[in-house]
Amino acid sequence: MKLFFRIKLLVLVSGLFFAFSTAKPVRVVFFGDSITRAGVEETGYITQMARALKQKGLGEQYELIGAGIGGNKVYDLYLRLEDDVLSKKPDVVFVYVGINDVWHKSSHGTGTDPEKYVKFYQAIIKKLKAQGARIILCTPSVIGEKNDFSNQQDGDLNQYANLVRQLAETEKVELCDLRKVFVDYLKENNPENRDRNILTTDRVHLNEKGNGLVATTLMEALLKK
């Protein structure tokens, strides 16, 4: 009888070990524009996040996938959602879009009106929900690093960040408030009120420190649950 129970226990333990050792990693897709496209580079935020997870002993538990294309606005993300995100069967999706929707109004004479921004964002969320993905919305960070709200697009950027915050609340999905994180950081770390070279190289695209700030913030959001 004792031998039977020992064999049964051994089988149970072996089965649990096999289950844990063959468990699939959590697949995380980062969906966005050129900031996310650069996120997979050596100092990019996705690469830094992967390193940080590895340092915590969590590297094998997560698979990080970048899905960023330069110049993309929310409409572009909607058009490629099926091919670049849903087809990958993600467990978690970070949506980080809005910079170009604001910036291109002045730089290219285009951009996205607030109503259309919300409409296409809602359509993205609806499709992600239908697939059962955990959704984390990121507010757009900065277009200029002056800390006194004198950057040209600060007004619009704050408006679009508020739209994302409202979407997270009404759609009952998670929020990663990068806009607030960047604004708070620049208040403390930009005493000369420069418009770049604190967290960005050109007022928009992130340097290594900016990527590190995004990586830390997104990882906290990812591990929150």
pLDDT tens digits along 172-206: 999 999 999 999 999 999 999 999 999 999 999 99
pLDDT tier for residue 9 given thresholds of 50, 70 and 90: very low
| CA angle centred on 121, ends 172 and 184, rounded to 5° | 70
Contact 44, 214 (CB under 8 A): no
Mean pLDDT of 16-37: 81
Please give the pLDDT value at position 22: 56
User: Which residues fall within 8 angstroms of residue 118, CB to CB, at 6 or more apart?
Assistant: 163, 167
Please give the pLDDT value at position 105: 85
pLDDT tier for residue 4 given thresholds of 50, 70 and 90: very low
CATH superfamily entry for domain 27-222: SGNH hydrolase (3.40.50.1110)
The values of phi and psi at residue 45, to 5°, are -70, -30
Tell me how long the chain is: 225
The whole-chain average pLDDT of the chain stands at 92
Of 20, 29, 9, 41, the C-alpha closest to 206 is 41
pLDDT tier for residue 69 given thresholds of 50, 70 and 90: very high
Residue with the larger pLDDT of the pair 22 and 46: 46
Domain boundaries, the chain: 27-222
Mean pLDDT of 126-140: 98
Of 85, 163, 167, 168, the C-alpha closest to 128 is 85
Give the C-alpha separation, 184 to 179, whole Å: 9
- Whether the pLDDT of residue 149 is over 50: the answer is yes
Please give the pLDDT value at position 21: 46
Contact 78, 71 (CB under 8 A): no
Between the alpha carbon of residue 168 and those of residues 95, 105, 172, 181, the distances in Å are 11, 24, 6, 17
